[in-house]
Amino acid sequence: MILMDDIIREGHPTLRKIAEEVTFPLTDDERKLCNDLLEYIINSQDDELCERYGLRPGIGLAAPQVNVSKRIFALHIEEEEGKKPLSFVAINPKIVSHSVEKTYLISGEGCLSVDRDVDGFVPRYARITVKAFDPDGKEYKMRLKGLPAIAFQHELDHLNGIMFYDHIDVNAPFKVIPDATPLERD
């Protein structure tokens, strides 16, 4: 299983690379990686497992963050208590269309590869339509908004060597973002 020691941190060159497209069928290693990424995220949302394994909670993890420069990430988001979580692995993901409207998390974004708080608003598209492949090589299409849309864009950035704070205006981190509706994360 993936532990915090397996996650590379900012400054590591792999986090700045454009990750490679994945070909199908997946190798056994790639399939295992898909499972491991999703498993980390799910486990990291369990208080007991966090304590036992020293995990930091997250909602998404991308392959480059475990030093594998391939276009794969996993997301696991519980939006509402009692509702089925949004949980998936995305391979070769793409945004096929997006809203003009932007959004951002009022509390800012965090990252398992960044061991510090970085203040500031990170502008994201409020709504996106995405395409990706699952580990069986089946393509799927989804529409996302709110936190899942933000998380998808954060993880997709990792596949392109972009860190969330690259989007923050260093001179005015809390400046009003035009056409944006802020999002509160509970």
Determine how many CB atoms are found less than 10 A away from the CB of residue 56: 13
Minimum distance from residue 154 beta carbon to Zn ion (Å): 6
Q: Which residues bind Zn ion (CB under 5 A)?
A: 111
Name residue 72's beta-bridge partners: 91
- In the bound complex, which residue of the shown chain has the CB atom lying closest to Zn ion? 111
Separation between Cα atoms, residue 172 and residue 156, nearest integer Å: 25
DSSP 117: -
Minimum distance from residue 155 beta carbon to Zn ion (Å): 7
> Exposure string (b/e) for 149-169, b if CB count within 10 Å is 16 or more?
bbbbbbbbbbbebbbbbebbe
Nearer to Zn ion, 125 or 165 (CB): 165
Nearer to Zn ion, 38 or 138 (CB): 38
Is residue 15 within 8 Å of residue 113, measured between CB atoms?
yes
Is residue 70 within 8 Å of residue 63, measured between CB atoms?
yes
Minimum distance from residue 28 beta carbon to Zn ion (Å): 26
Catalytic choice (10, 51, 155, 184):
155
Nearer to Zn ion, 79 or 115 (CB): 115
Minimum distance from residue 66 beta carbon to Zn ion (Å): 12
101 labelled catalytic: no
Nearer to Zn ion, 34 or 59 (CB): 59
Q: Which residues participate in catalysis according to the annotation?
A: 155
